[in-house]
Amino acid sequence: MTYNLYYCDDAERILKGDFETKEQAIQGFHDVCRKEFKFGAYGFDLVEDKNVTRIDYGGNKHWFEIEGKVK
């Protein structure tokens, strides 16, 4: 199984990377927040739903999703 990391809003899902494990995808989320968005600090909640894990990290306008895909 592979895991795709998406940055989402109400209009689109932008692929930010694909990973071999869910743990690597979560680390990818941290890397995007720190390196691309330059967040100094942030909190987040993981919400599991079947093969998609939603990562809420602030307001409800934007979020991340990790989607598991069978190879």
Q: What does the alpha-carbon distance between residue 8 and residue 5 come to, in Å, rounded to a whole number? A: 10
Torsion of CA 7, 12, 14, 18, to 10 degrees: 80
φ/ψ of 35, rounded to 5, equals -90, -45
The pTM score is 0.89
pLDDT along the chain (71 residues), means of 10: 94 96 96 90 87 86 93 77
